[in-house]
Structure 1
Amino acid sequence: MKKSILFLSAAVTLLATAACQNFKKGDGGLEYKIVEDAGGEKAKAGDLLSVDMIVKSDRKDSLLQSTYDIGLPQIVNIAPDSIPGLYPGDYNSMFKLLGEGDSAIFRLNLDTMAAKTGQPKPEFADKFVTFTIKVRKHFKKGNLTDSALYAQIDQYFKGEIEGLKKAEEGKLAGYIASNKLEPKKTASGLQYVVSSEGSGNKPAVGDTVVVNYTGTLVSGKVFDTNNADIAKKNNTFNPMRQYEPIRFRLGHDPVIQGWTEGLQLFSKGTKATLLVPSSLGYGERGGGAIPPYAPLVFDVELVDIIPGPKAPADSTANN
């Protein structure tokens, strides 16, 4: 994680520096600056690139996407120019200027994109979307069959995911150290820090709990929250969603194991941070914005506890 964060910081600094410099002009209004040319063969139609990429719009607080948030590269398929909708200077064109080890900054012209594709300009930008790209690996199609090429990709990602598995413990330890936390730890590996102690009984399996929460990766990336203000601030807001406390029945409704265990540790009104290893979270598969083997951080508030139905009395007790 430390390496990724350092690279992200360097990439963002590089982007800010390059913004003050002249970009070269390409086809279709595309502007670009090759930051590093490793001298390798450039990508062709049919090839695939494994890239780290930061995508920003030309507005304030404009980060749209970053592969550094999840720690896995993105695979880009270089399409033939003959495919309808493609044009010189588009997204596909950018990657044809790159090979393995190269890095560059591109500004994609949205006016040209709208004119060439007949599609409206996206609402999240005014004129440009900026891509800061570092190519990790170049997979060359050549005479390979599609199945042989994608077998290489599959093997490559198995190695990347194995790297995430080996790095998980260090990521969580780094998060704890950098935030100066002193968590308690359960036998399962769940860790937690109580910031505000509640009172009264603690929930048990069968009870319904009502919870405010924000979930982040250890990088700080928010992937889910029931707080509308936090969602808007972190570009995860969904206007179709009702932002209200989540409620579920412990041990009955499907939530991650870290929640089922962790919430039973707290009384009503408690505010705490749960540090959830992937074995108690989304495991080796991940889900959505959560990568495989991702330790998770949840800031939770146990708003209410609704006792579950009592078990019927044993009718044989008096026999």
Structure 2
Amino acid sequence: MKRLGIGILSLLILFSGCVSDEENNQIIFDRDLQKIEDYLSENPIASVKELEDPATGIRILWQEVSESGKSPVALDTIVVDYVGKLLNNSVFDTSIESVARAKNIFNPNRTYEPLQFLFGTGDIIPGFEFAIFKMEEGDKATVIMPSLYGYGSFEQGGIPKNSPLIFELDLIQIKGVVEDEVLD
């Protein structure tokens, strides 16, 4: 009986070795898409505009559209308030002190202020940057992304690996790149 158990275990290891990382990523991606679909059916988000990108599975639901016409380009400084949540609606991070206090994640050693980052440099997770790319200055939107466009297979703080993420974004300002004056 013990040999049978070892034989079955050996076969499982052999077959699991035949599944490529790409196939595993596809399974995780498909599972994430289903979780996102389930979340949205159980937690409808009011929106005035929506985008679902089939290639990435990222969904953006605008609560406010500014029509400012000011979109980010590479190396612009982005100023954005955000609330990051898991699909169980637990908040894991925010730039807003009142939200941090209300959700019992307040850290007195942290400064709560809008996040500022250079756009297009890869300093933030891909799904967050993708959403900012689709927004205009003054827009407010909720973005929901598969784990691949968040932290993927890595645990990050209170975020379990392979977790689809939700970000509520308020794109406060886009500061354009200042060009150097040409000296004559």
Distance 2:142 2:148 in 1: 17
Distance 2:130 2:181 in 1: 25
Residue by residue, what CA displacement relative to the aligned partner does 1:19-69 show, whole Å, maximum 9, x if unpaired?
Answer: xxxxxxxxxxxxxxxxxxxxxxxxxxxxxxxxxxxxxxxxxxxxxxxxxxx
Partner residue of 2:116?
247
Structure 1 counterpart SS, 2:37: helix
- 1:180 Cα deviation after fit: 2.2
Distance 1:185 1:311 in 2: 39
- 1:262 Cα deviation after fit: 1.0
Partner residue of 1:267?
136
* Aligned residue among 290, 293, 296 for 2:165: 296
1:195 aligns with 2:49: no
Please list every run of 5 or more consecutive structure 2 residues that lacks an aligned counterpart in the other structure: 1-23
Residue by residue, what CA displacement relative to the aligned partner does 1:229-288 show, whole Å, maximum 9, x if unpaired?
Answer: 111111110011111101000112510001111101111110000111111110012311
Amino acid at match of 1:184: L
CA-atom RMSD in angstroms: 2.2
Aligned pair count reads 151
1:236 aligns with 2:105: yes
- 1:188 Cα deviation after fit: 2.3
Amino acid at match of 1:173: E
Distance 2:138 2:51 in 1: 19
Distance 2:130 2:34 in 1: 23
Distance 1:298 1:209 in 2: 15
Distance 2:128 2:170 in 1: 12
Structure 2 counterpart SS, 1:282: coil
Amino acid at match of 1:307: G
Distance 1:288 1:242 in 2: 18
Please list every run of 5 or more consecutive structure 1 residues that lacks an aligned counterpart in the other structure: 1-161, 314-319
- 1:309 Cα deviation after fit: 4.2
**Equivalent residues of 1:206, 1:309 under 8 A apart:** no
Structure 2 counterpart SS, 1:301: strand
**Equivalent residues of 1:202, 1:268 under 8 A apart:** yes
Alignment of structure 1 residues 278-317 onto 2, 5 Å: 278-310=147-179
Partner residue of 1:276?
145
Distance 2:177 2:160 in 1: 34
**Equivalent residues of 2:154, 2:161 under 8 A apart:** yes
Distance 1:192 1:310 in 2: 32
Kindly indicate whether structure 1 or structure 2 has the higher relative contact order, using CA contacts under 8 Å at least 6 residues apart.
2
Structure 2 counterpart SS, 1:174: helix
Partner residue of 1:204?
73
The higher radius of gyration belongs to 1
Structure 2-normalised TM-score? 0.75
**Equivalent residues of 1:196, 1:270 under 8 A apart:** yes
1:223 aligns with 2:74: no
Structure 1-normalised TM-score? 0.44
**Equivalent residues of 1:195, 1:271 under 8 A apart:** yes
Amino acid at match of 2:70: N
Distance 1:168 1:293 in 2: 8
Partner residue of 1:169?
33
Amino acid at match of 1:194: W
